[in-house]
Amino acid sequence: MTEEQDKPKLVPTKIYKCKDAECKAWVREELAAAEPVCPICKGPMHRSIRHLPALQNKIKKQKPVKKDLF
């Protein structure tokens, strides 16, 4: 078995996660507000690091499609 295949590369990503150990809520730092509150329990969140698949840029560069079709 080759488990390496098609595995998204995990990169250490800054996140905020809920301070409540029993609450699993977390959010990427780049998507969080300046002072994020937990979306589930409304409690405070703190910075952490999580290994996540690399985010792909949502905004694709729009390349003009130049196909010379004859």
Binding site for Zn ion (CB under 5 A): 18, 20, 23, 25, 38, 40-41, 43
DSSP 16: E
Phi, psi of 13 (to 5 degrees): -120, 135
Nearer to Zn ion, 27 or 41 (CB): 41
Instruction: Look at the chain and count its residues.
Output: 70
Nearer to Zn ion, 33 or 59 (CB): 33
To the nearest whole angstrom, how small is the minimum distance from the Cβ of residue 18 to Zn ion?
3
Nearer to Zn ion, 25 or 32 (CB): 25
